[in-house]
Amino acid sequence: MDVFAFIGGPKEIPLYAFLAPIPIVIWVFGTEFKDAVRRTPNASTGERLLYLVDSLSTAVGKTYGWAILILTFTTSYEVFSRYMFGAPTDWAFDASYMLYGALFMLGGAYALSRNSHVRGDFIYRAWSPRRQAMMDLVLYVLFFFPGMLAFVYAGFGFAELSRRMNEHSSASPNGPIVWPFKWMIVFVGVMMVIQGVVEVMRCIMCIRSGEWPQRLHDVEELEKVMLEDAEKKKQAEMKAAEESGLRRGDV
Amino acid sequence: MFGLGNPELGVLMLALFVLFIMFGFPIAFTLMALGVFFGYFAMGDLIFSLLVQRSYSVMTNDVLISIPLFVFMGYIVERANILDRLFRSLQLAAGPVPASLALATLATCAIFATATGIVGACVTLMGLLAFPAMLRAGYDVKIAAGVVCAGGCLGILIPPSVMLILYGATAGVSVVKLYAGAFFPGIMLAGLYMLYTIIMALLNPKLAPRLPLEERNVPLSTVFWALVTSFLPLAGLIGAALGSIIFGLATPSEAAAMGSLGALLLAVGYGADYTKRRNVLLVQVYGVLMIAFLAYVIVCGMTALDVDHRIVGLALFATLAVGILLIPGTSFRLFQLKESVFLAARTTAMVCWLFIGSFTFSAVFAYLGGHEPIEKFVLAMNLSPTGFMILAQIIIFVLGWPLEWTEIIVIFMPIFLPLLKTFNIDPLFFGLLVALNIQTSFLSPPVAMAPFYLKGVAPAWVNINDIFRGVMPYMIIVIVSMIMLYTFPQIGLWLPNQLYR
């Protein structure tokens, strides 16, 4: 229990659990950004800046995304412990919602940087990129920033109150502190705003050039990858057919 | 300036939302912003605490915890490269039946889509695997396209499906009951698809020619072995996850966590290096143990004895141990795990941020009393409960043309839900009908995900209109099954009523 005495008791674990992955975030941030620089050697300074913020959001989202694996193991352990030893744990419930909350909240900016937030895009899809960008730009300013700033402002009061009260979870007798979890709202809101600024820059770049700037290279949904592959294959086949047609024409 | 009881404002808010949804901005943020604006007008500074309270309730929602876990399980199964073997084994098993390839496709889609819950992946994978196989065997393009598209969508209906969790969280209905209720309708829909395909093949054998004799006459032991090594583990995984939820052994989130762990072990096991004697022996011993365990559970079930928890624990432990021992040399690599983790993080973020938006929006909407005019309007139409039900389903069906199921469930369900009470309709039953109805949203133009995905991977000569024409009968079957469920509610309600009296 000496370890716990050093960090201030087992109830303080959430704070350290939230802070511990930060070195990994920094490391992932470095590799992501280096990767982006390597893939786009001719990028302008503006684009580099976009990649810098993208890499940060991606690093946070990916690092804390591993919470899903921890969530899998802790919840499975809880079930196992209950059935095998007849002893349900007193920490699994608090751990599970904190891991889940961290997973999706900290993934928010990552999803934004990948353009993964669902859109009702049945009309949008048919527009030219320039028109898409103009509409996005207007709505980012009109909707996104006011909403997110309200989120940060509201979250700050909420989290700060909780910290001052040194609020502990009432969901279990163990009662770990919850204010780091609540403070995450503020942190995530700020990250979303920063990523939003980058998305606005993307819109402006797209309005200027008429083409959406590239995003970071990342894993994609299977259907997207396969559809792209199929498209490429069809184009290659068409090209081959054209060429062979030409050659035959020559003969 | 504005206070409580501004229903007009609520309706305006909804109308603006419908307008802005068309502009293609991420829906979560549109919902959040409209909620904040209208909330600020209506209640001033209070909106900020409402916003953060609603967000925090999403962050601590014990129903939504199962979403990342089921999504993660789905991505692992998807990345584990098991579809090929699954399809081949089911194709062997269906050999002698008419339209065997189409049936194998439907069955593969049903089980794979149920395990993954990812419609797009199922349709594209089967579009590359089963669709060309059917065309080569001389199947009609329309029927081949129909089974791939219709089968790929079954995953969001047959539990454990993420859609039912979303509905449960929105409507406040127990996910456990929804799973128990959706089980038979899901099986019924899959069964009707198969029945229709067989009848079509019998009426007009040219649509689905039989396979050549040498491909049909496979020794029974080969078929059996193929099923045991590919179909059985996946079916067992789904069955264990679903069974433990329905029979109350674990909460949905716990079952989802065990399912994810099981999917990891399954992926390792499928890819394990079976040239090594040790691994083969290990799996054989494990198989025998599992058969003994199953027999024990069945005997306990039949004699109404309590299953000893320690034996269940031992079975779980054995599964874990075998999985870990199989890791060296497996073809399921770290990068596949990484991809699953990152994709799960992104998908979860998307869904749960949508919930933050929708919770805020619907709280403000309710505060303004926006339901009242809608309710008055509906009541003024003097509908019977049946009439209302039909109207609601038609609206959802029409919403399915431009929108995807996430938006329909998370955003439009809260508008229908208060009306259910007025008409005395069970939200559980309504949810089952909606779950069936949503199937059509993948198939109906203009935003028909499934046909367009299939078109994307199909050979260039396959026409999108042929695909739509092939899908049409299956859409009609969905509607037929909705009518059947409405006429005989016991199809859905029998199991939950039986289990949770």
For residue B423, give Cα distances in angstroms to A16, A222, B399, B426: 51, 43, 22, 9
Q: Measured between CA atoms, how close is A152 to chain B, in angstroms? A: 9
Within 196-225 of A, beta carbons closer than 8 Å to B belong to 218-219, 221-224
DSSP states along B11-57: HHHHHHHHHHHTTT-BHHHHHHHHHHHHHHHHHTTHHHHHHHHHHHH
For residue B449, give Cα distances in angstroms to B399, B467, B479: 14, 12, 19
- Please give the average per-residue pLDDT across B381-402, as a whole number: 86
pLDDT of residue B333: 85
Residue B247 touches chain A, beta carbons under 8 Å: no
**Which parts of chain A sit beneath pLDDT 50?**
1, 251
Residues 6+ apart with CB under 8 A from A111: A61, A117, B346, B349, B350, B353
Between B285 and B209, name the one with better pLDDT. B285
What percent of chain B clears pLDDT 90, i.e. is strictly above it?
32
| Contacts with A122 from chain B: Cβ below 8 Å | 22, 402-403, 446-447
Q: What is the mean pLDDT of chain B?
A: 87
Q: Please judge whether B345 and A107 are an interchain contact, meaning their C-beta atoms are less than 8 angstroms apart.
A: yes
Q: Please judge whether B59 and A223 are an interchain contact, meaning their C-beta atoms are less than 8 angstroms apart.
A: no
What are the tokens at A126?
């048919």
Q: How far apart are the first and last CA of chain A?
A: 87
Q: Please judge whether A96 and B65 are an interchain contact, meaning their C-beta atoms are less than 8 angstroms apart.
A: yes
In this structure, what DSSP letter does residue B127 have? Answer: H
- In angstroms, the CA B306 to CA B300 distance is 6
Size of interface A-B (CB pairs under 8 A): 251
Q: Please judge whether A118 and B404 are an interchain contact, meaning their C-beta atoms are less than 8 angstroms apart.
A: yes
pLDDT of residue A251: 46
pLDDT of residue B1: 43
- Please give the average per-residue pLDDT across B36-62, as a whole number: 91
What are the tokens at B364?
């403000």
The residue length of chain B stands at: 501
Check: CB of residue B444 under 8 Å from CB of residue B474. no
Percent of chain A that is helix, strand, coil (3-state, to 5):
75, 0, 20
Whole-structure pTM value: 0.91
What are the tokens at B420?
């259910």
SS (H, E, C) B316-351: HHHHHHHHHHCCCCCCCCHHHHHHHHHHHHHHHHHH
Check: CB of residue B178 under 8 Å from CB of residue B164. yes
ipTM above 0.95, yes or no: no
